[in-house]
Structure 1
Amino acid sequence: MGDCKYSCATATETLDWIRAIIQFLKPYSFFWESHVVNFITHRLWEAVDEEWIDCLRNEPVECLIQIPSGFVQQHWPSSLKKFITSLSSLAFPREQADLKKLLPNMQVALLNNVITQGMNQKKRHEIEVLAAVVSSVARDVETNTIIDVGAGQGYLSQVLSFEYQLSVIAIDASSHHGRVTDERAERIKKHYEAKIRKSSLGGKGLTIPKTVTCRVLSSDMLKTLLNSKDVDEHCHHQSTSDTCPLLLTGLHACGDLSVTMLRAFLESKEVKAVVSIGCCYNLLSEEEANPLCGFPISRGVKSTGLHLGRNSRDLACQSADRWKVMEKGASLHNFELHAFRAAFQMLLSRYFPETLTASPTIGRQGKALRRKHQNSKMNGLPTDECSRKPDSTSGTDEHVDTCSLFEKFSESGLHRLNLNQPHNIDFAAIWKEAEPFVEMIGPYWSLRAALGPVLETLILLDRLLFLQEQGDSVEAVMLPIFNPNISPRNVALIAKKT
């Protein structure tokens, strides 16, 4: 599985990489332990080198948004440049790997419009690539049976079944997804059966994925499922062999589910390989007293005593690759929403202090609000004004417009939190108090976001090390298999029992 860039690291080398990351991150805990919503209430900028903030507050947004990707300017302070370049050197490379070189037997099926119906561009790209990788690994370990964990609506399962003629069992917690998968598979089967008849090629009968509704909460539960009568019958129906080797796969299996798959791979003798692409690190369990938590899982990382916390794992989910192709308007919009949320935190601390103890989440209301506002401006419709008219010291139409948006953002947030809005909330006064600090949010957010790829690397290396600690019985590699601009969570952990 060839290229040294990805697969030649030993357990010792992986642990050295992990320790280098931890050592580098320690002085910057104020970044990865904090949350931007508290930017104003906790005066977060005060923890950052003042020279860095003074430099970056004068930089255009196009430069700031590139910082998480390793971008630096020559005139920036040397300590700032070193911080950014060091982070880039510690992060796992995300450029899509040359898969045909690394997996010589990989054959990519070009998907037709029937089997891709309902897929957006991102999903189609992911399914097309991952299905080819899974098929390649299945041939390596001589299995014809795939277990698709967290199968969703069955897109991957159906491509593996109809395009690669593999026997697939699709597992998902949602019974609704199971029904959708079955109905969709029957429609697709008719298309392929007609195609076979027209080609006069004949061939074996087509099978559709078997769907199983089950919420997989532990490796023991998954092992029990793998040894169940349903799986056994489906497996042996497709194979004349007494044994039925399995391959586990999961496309963006959330939180602990990706880790559960790795444990089941090691603990179940029937599972010969795993192809896992994780997601939602914020949902990982991280209880120190729980030996089966989602992070850390390797002995090496456990020995460091590292604890990340929810804010750090949230940060690991961020995407530098999407930011670097973000247009100026979208970048400004991003920073403005962070400013609104930080000012809204001020509002909560002043009027609803008891709510802050519950880490309030208001969702993506700000983005919807901003889109509506932009559409109104493009169509020449009037925008609502803030309750305070501009005066000679504060104002321009732009200030009034932003203040009005903040008020609507706050009203939406209060509604999402089921809080009754007091009549005495002075939105304009809160925004006026927050406004002097708004220009520092972009620099702070960009510097903090630069830690995201390294934190994700740390989580992924922990999983790789967990497999490498098994010795010669397991061959493991991490590969960036998707185009990161299309699918930022693009790193596949591929492991085979030797």
Structure 2
Amino acid sequence: MPGVSARGLSHGERRQLAVNLTRVLALYRSILDAYIIEFFTDSLWGTLPSSWQEALDGLTPPQLATLLLGMPREGEEIRYRSVWPLTLLALKSTACALAFTRTPGFQTPSEFLENPSQSSRLTAPFRKHVKPKKQHEIRRLGELVKKLSDLTGCTQVVDVGSGQGHLSRFMSLGLGLMVKSLEGNQRLVSRARRLDQELLQALNKMDKRHPKVVQRGPRHSPHHVVQWVSPTALCEELLLPLETSGQGSARLLLTGLHACGDLSVALLRHFCRCSEVVALASVGCCYMKLSDPGSYPLSQWVAGLPGHELPYRLREGACHALEDYAERLQKAGPDLQTHCFRAALETVIRHVCPELRRPGVQGIPRVHELKIEE
């Protein structure tokens, strides 16, 4: 897939990419700010250039996926039924050129080939209460944290946003690391502690069944703390060592699995500002939830570029894979009608309450199968 590979870019090239992106965003801001629910109320079709309307009018959903998104079905050739205006072709080419390269597709990890529900690289006690995807994630991230800890001489791992503690348990009871777990939800912390005891009992039973297996050392359960971590201020609890090291000050490794929104920012800020934090292994998620202003954008330089602003809805859209949208268009399923129904409903809402704009009316599952009276 053509586009930009971020790995090979120099500092100057990254800045130029940011400039190019913000220029394109500013140029097509009217399209970006449009809501599909306002298709009828704001006559969105009429806001497009007439030459675009002529090119796009009458195209089927599969044709839109093939011609506009450039994602044809396997073996299908891209053939235009008419000459498209250069401005539309330029937008298509620019969007493709500025997108980050990636390889779509998914292959089942080898650890799930024998049983899709159980990782063959985790023992049974560590798989209990953990879904297959999470099994894979805690194993991969846990092993990475172990390597980083050995390389940097860390005395303690801090799992931020630990939830039910699946990653913390694997790192502490499975890999022998000293782990502190920070989670803001008291209910999740209580459950994590119960699961710790359950896992310890299971491991002790395994030891009794296999007494010849040499235990690497005493087992230490994660130390769970109910603590909310601010994205802007340093967290003292995060930096407190569990025990004083004989080698001097503590050396901390921060990690987070699915560190949501501002939590990823908090990890980065602690890593940059605190000398005792010597390593970081973070898997972020929900980037659209970054606070604005405050966390988005992280770069002060990008924040100074005109047109860099992206509201929540656009940041959320940027987190989705274009292939998913292309697949929906290629299938041309009746569920696409839902968008039309919602846009039609908006005309009724505006007629009754003209001041009510973009209300959060939730959709109904399989609404396209209902009669209009229903």
| TM bucket, shorter chain | 0.7 to 0.9
Tell me if structure 2 keeps the 8 A contact 1:116–1:124.
yes
Tell me if structure 1 keeps the 8 A contact 2:125–2:203.
no
Within-5 A mapping of 1:315-464: 315-324=317-326, 332=333, 335-356=336-357, 359-363=358-362, 365-366=363-364, 368-370=365-367, 401=371, 403-404=372-373, 408=374
Distance of 1:176 and 1:241 partners within structure 2: 36
Distance of 1:118 and 1:51 partners within structure 2: 57
Cα gap change, 1:14/1:347 in structure 2, threshold over 3 Å: closer, same or farther?
same
Residue 9 of structure 1 is matched in structure 2 by: 9
Partner SS, residue 114 of structure 1: helix
Match of 2:290 among 284, 290, 301: 284
Partner SS, residue 255 of structure 2: strand
Distance of 2:104 and 2:140 partners within structure 1: 11
Residue 296 of structure 2 is matched in structure 1 by: 295
Tell me if structure 2 keeps the 8 A contact 1:148–1:157.
yes
Tell me if structure 1 keeps the 8 A contact 2:264–2:282.
yes
Distance of 1:143 and 1:340 partners within structure 2: 57
Tell me the TM-score normalised to structure 1 length: 0.61
RMSD across aligned positions (CA): 3.3
Q: CA deviation at 1:301?
A: 0.4
Cα gap change, 1:159/1:219 in structure 2, threshold over 3 Å: closer, same or farther?
farther
**Is 1:307 aligned with 2:290?**
no
Residue 262 of structure 1 is matched in structure 2 by: 268
Query: How many pairs are equivalent?
Result: 347
- Pick the structure with more helix per residue: 1
- Kindly provide the amino acid, as one letter, of the partner of residue 130 in structure 1: L
Residue 42 of structure 1 is matched in structure 2 by: 42
Q: CA deviation at 1:312?
A: 2.1
Residue 274 of structure 1 is matched in structure 2 by: 280
Residue 210 of structure 1 is matched in structure 2 by: 223
- Kindly provide the amino acid, as one letter, of the partner of residue 41 in structure 2: T
**Is 1:88 aligned with 2:96?**
yes
Higher relative CO (CA 8 A, sep ≥ 6), structure 1 or 2?
1
**Is 1:155 aligned with 2:166?**
yes
Cα gap change, 1:65/1:75 in structure 2, threshold over 3 Å: closer, same or farther?
closer
Distance of 1:33 and 1:155 partners within structure 2: 40
Cα gap change, 1:168/1:327 in structure 2, threshold over 3 Å: closer, same or farther?
farther
Partner SS, residue 337 of structure 1: helix
- The superposition leaves residues 284-320 of structure 1 with CA deviations (integer Å, 9 ceiling, x where unpaired) of 2223xxxxx0112213202214222233223223332
Residue 487 of structure 1 is matched in structure 2 by: none
- Kindly provide the amino acid, as one letter, of the partner of residue 80 in structure 2: H
Q: CA deviation at 1:113?
A: 4.3
Identity %: 24
Distance of 1:304 and 1:59 partners within structure 2: 37
**Is 1:200 aligned with 2:216?**
no
**Is 1:248 aligned with 2:270?**
no
Q: CA deviation at 1:178?
A: 0.5
Residue 237 of structure 2 is matched in structure 1 by: 225
Residue 113 of structure 2 is matched in structure 1 by: none
Partner SS, residue 292 of structure 2: coil
Partner SS, residue 242 of structure 1: coil
Choose 109-118 or 205-214, whichever is displaced more. 109-118
Distance of 2:51 and 2:139 partners within structure 1: 47
- The superposition leaves residues 246-273 of structure 1 with CA deviations (integer Å, 9 ceiling, x where unpaired) of 1222223222222122111111111112
Partner SS, residue 137 of structure 2: helix
Cα gap change, 1:361/1:170 in structure 2, threshold over 3 Å: closer, same or farther?
farther
Distance of 1:265 and 1:59 partners within structure 2: 51
Question: Structure 2: which 5+ runs fail to align?
Answer: 73-77, 106-118
